[in-house]
Every structure is written in C-alpha cells, then in structure tokens.
C-alpha cells in the first residue's frame, strides 16, 4: 500500500491549527461553514442520492438516519461502489490486508454494536491525510509532528485509516484488539510504554483495575471514546493512572468533537455543520451532522442517535462545548413526561457502589432491573429506586445478577420495551 502523503497530513494539521486560532466568533464559524459548503457542490452532484439538490442550501436537503446511509450505500458514495465490494474490502482490512476497494480508497467498519447493517466508511488517500492532520492537531501535543509519539490504540478492529498514523510522522503505533486478554494487554502496554492510549471506557477501566497507582508506564494522554464514561469513573481512572481520560467523539459519520486545552469537548464545527434537534423534557439534543470535507462518501444531514448535552467552557472557543456523550437517545428512560437521562443513572449508581464496579441498569415501562455483583446489587437497586422517587415515580426496581461480559461496547444504561 502506498504510504500516506505527509505533506497532505501537514496541510490538514495547519488548517486545523489555523481555524483554532482564527475562528473567534460564531459569525466566523458560520462564514467558514458556508464557504466549505459551497465547495461541496461538485461532490453533491456526483452523489446519486443527493445529486438533484446540488447547489441548493443545506436546509433543502432531507434529514436521514444512519440506517438509510447504510442501506442505500450505493446512493451515498461518489465512486459507484456497491455494498458488497466495500464489505469485502473492509473484511480484508480487518484481516490484515490492504482493505482497498479502489486504488487509494479504503473501506472499514465502525465499532458500533447496534443491530442491522454494520457502519461502513470509505476514505480516499487524500481524505485520510486530511483526517490525520486534523486528528493530530486536535488530540496530540502541539509538537507531535516533530517530536513524535508512541500511540496505543485499543479498538475492535484496525483499518488503514488508523494504521496510516505510522506514516504520518515520527510515530510508533501499537494496535490491541478488544479481544486481547487483560493481562496480555497490560504486559504489551508496559513494554511499549505509550505516550497516548486511545480506548473505550471499559478498556481503560480494566487497565485501571489491573494497575496500582504508580504504574510502570504513565501515558501523557488518555483518550476515551466509543462508549460513555461517567464523571465518577473518569475521576477514579485519573487517580489510578495519574492521567485524566479526555473524551473524544467519533462515529462512522466523522470526527465529531475533540477536547480543548481545558479538557472540555467541543464539536468540530470548523469542518462540520451540527444542527441540534431538542429532546423533549430534557436539556439534551441529538445532532444532525453534515461533514464539509468528505468527497468519497458524503455525509449530509445525517441524524445521529446520540444524546448530547450543551456545556460551557472557559477556553473561549466559538465551537459549541458539550459534555461527554452519555448514551443513545433510545436509552433515555421515559415514563410519560418524566425523562431520566443516562448520566443521572450513572451518577446515582456509581455514588452508591463505587466507580470501579461493573453494573448495568435496564429500564422499561414496568420498572427497572439493576445488574451488579452480589455484594453491590442491593445498594445499586436502592440508588436507582431513590432516583426514581426524586422524579415522582414509584416503580419496581429489581436487583439482578452480574452483568454479561462486554463483547464490543459497554452500555450500562438501557431502555427496552420488551
């Protein structure tokens, strides 16, 4: 496979740094978005599902779901690729192959665990270089392109989008699949001594459980994504690993938000348009994402099922600050007009049994079941029962057995109608 174009990575890095320095007001942000949207017109024209609307304002485009993009894959790429072609290339990439579906164009799967078709993304060599430049600028130390860094990535599967990091600059890269046993993971991390660890919440928690304070390696940066992590768990991991996990927000639909110098998450509105759809009876919203850079697989007004909560930040960035993603819209607990967000459940249970413990709380129309170890289940159920009472609800809360082993993603707070 051809190596990544380092000059293109540098251009992406410079663009991200430039926007961080020059975008001072919301007016600045909106002017940049309008400019980038106008440049997307030829891309829209080449996209079968969108071509009839090329040149129209963004508001003229329909809002679609990720399932629509996955189901109608042929209509949402500009290269005439079929789902079967891209699936085969993505599977090849997961098996250690090139993963190219066209020369320079790679396919990969998302880390999602929802049913139906898996998220499938395409990226050209130029898009990957721009993505990496943006990622390095937002997530790694300022001089990382010069000094380099050792990066450990713990995900379900790798792809060329991530392995290209090794060619983007003086970086060393270690990939550890989620299936790696915990003891082996610790041994390999200790031997590699990474500066940066990128992993889901449950992997960082497992590392913390296996390591005492004063570990043989102390990463300069922990980056947490793919699944929710509450404030209490973040505090506990920081105490053990001596580094506070910084949240990132990424999906098949793009690199959506990154932490600022103060650790607060900000939407990447220098390269995205993020429309907000309010969630009734809460201060949350779900985002409608338009990526202003993707040319191989455009993402235009795609409504994501993530619960986001606005936040404030003292860094003065004009990019919207949000709290770390707390879960999916479908996991919001709702009885009539009473809505209880996942974060409230997480806070209540962690306060009762400790942030280091594993648990799960599953609600439905008739009540809640709380799963935890035998020593913690009663206390966790009592905490949930009290949370419901504070919202004026008297519902059955059952203490169950230990939660099932995490296979791909951890979802501690769930709602089911079944």
Q: Going edge to edge, which strands form the sheet with 272-278?
A: 272-278, 285-291, 302-303
- What's the average pLDDT block by block, 10 residues per block, for the chain (418 residues)? 65 82 91 96 95 96 93 93 90 78 84 61 85 81 66 70 56 80 86 87 89 67 88 92 90 85 92 96 96 93 95 93 94 95 95 92 94 89 96 92 77 88
Question: Do 76 and 298 contact (CB within 8 A), yes or no?
Answer: yes
Tell me the torsion sign for CA atoms 46, 51, 57, 59: negative
197 — phi, psi (to 5°)? -120, 125
144: three-class secondary structure by DSSP: helix
Q: Where are the beta strands (DSSP E) in 245-402?
A: 245-247, 249-251, 254-259, 265-267, 272-278, 285-291, 302-303, 310-311, 321-322, 333-335, 338-340, 359-364, 367-372, 397-400
Q: Going edge to edge, which strands form the sheet with 254-259?
A: 249-251, 254-259, 265-267, 321-322, 310-311
Spell out the CATH class of 332-415. alpha beta
Cα gap 273→354, rounded to integer Å: 38
* Opening angle at CA 291, ends 281 and 7, nearest 5: 140
CA-based radius of gyration for the chain: 22
DSSP string, 149-212: EEEEEEES---HHHHTHHHHSSEEEEEEETTS-HHHHHHHHHHH--SEEEEEHHHHHHHHHH--
Tell me how far CA of residue 183 lies from CA of 137, 175, 223, 296, in angstroms: 32, 15, 21, 40
Domain residue limits, the chain: 144-247, 332-415
- The fold adopted by the segment(s) 144-247 is Rossmann fold (3.40.50)
């Amino acid at each position: 496979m051809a190596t990544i174009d380092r000059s293109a990575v540098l251009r992406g890095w410079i663009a991200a740094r430039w926007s961080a320095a020059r975008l001072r007001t919301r007016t600045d942000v909106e002017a940049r978005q309008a400019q980038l949207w106008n440049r997307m017109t030829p891309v829209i024209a080449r996209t079968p599902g969108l071509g009839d609307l090329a040149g129209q304002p963004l508001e003229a485009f329909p809002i679609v779901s990720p399932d629509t993009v996955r189901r109608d894959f042929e209509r949402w790429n500009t290269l005439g690729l079929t789902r079967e072609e891209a699936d085969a290339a993505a599977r090849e990439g997961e098996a250690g192959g090139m993963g190219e579906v066209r020369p320079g164009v790679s396919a990969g799967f998302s880390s999602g665990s929802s049913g139906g078709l898996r998220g499938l993304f395409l990226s050209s060599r130029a898009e990957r270089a721009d993505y990496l430049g943006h990622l390095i600028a937002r997530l790694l130390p300022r001089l990382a392109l010069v000094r380099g860094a050792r990066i450990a990535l713990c995900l379900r599967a790798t792809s060329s989008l991530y392995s290209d990091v090794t060619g983007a600059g003086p970086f060393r890269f270690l990939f550890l699949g989620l299936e790696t046993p915990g003891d082996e993971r610790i041994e390999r991390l200790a031997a590699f001594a990474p500066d940066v660890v990128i992993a889901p919440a449950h992997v960082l928690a497992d590392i913390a459980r296996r390591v005492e304070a004063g570990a043989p390696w102390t990463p300069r940066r922990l980056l947490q994504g793919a699944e929710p992590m509450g404030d209490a768990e973040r505090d506990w991991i920081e105490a053990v690993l001596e580094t506070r996990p910084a949240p990132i927000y990424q999906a098949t639909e793009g690199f959506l938000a990154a932490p600022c110098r103060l650790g607060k998450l900000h939407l990447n509105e220098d390269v995205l348009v993020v429309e907000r759809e309010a969630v009734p009876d809460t201060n949350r919203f779900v985002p409608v994402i338009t990526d202003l850079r993707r040319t191989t697989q455009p993402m235009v007004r795609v409504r994501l099922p993530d619960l986001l909560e606005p936040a404030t930040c003292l860094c003065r960035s004009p990019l919207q600050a949000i709290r770390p993603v707390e879960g999916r819209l479908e996991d919001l607990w709702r009885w009539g007009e009473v809505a209880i967000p996942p974060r409230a459940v997480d806070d209540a249970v962690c306060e009762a049994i400790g942030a280091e413990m594993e648990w799960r709380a599953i609600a439905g129309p008739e009540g809640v079941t709380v799963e935890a170890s035998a020593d913690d289940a009663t206390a966790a159920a009592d905490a949930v029962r009290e949370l419901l009472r504070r919202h004026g609800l008297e519902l059955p809360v059952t203490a169950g057995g230990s939660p099932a082993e995490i296979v791909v993603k951890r979802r501690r707070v769930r709602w089911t109608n079944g």
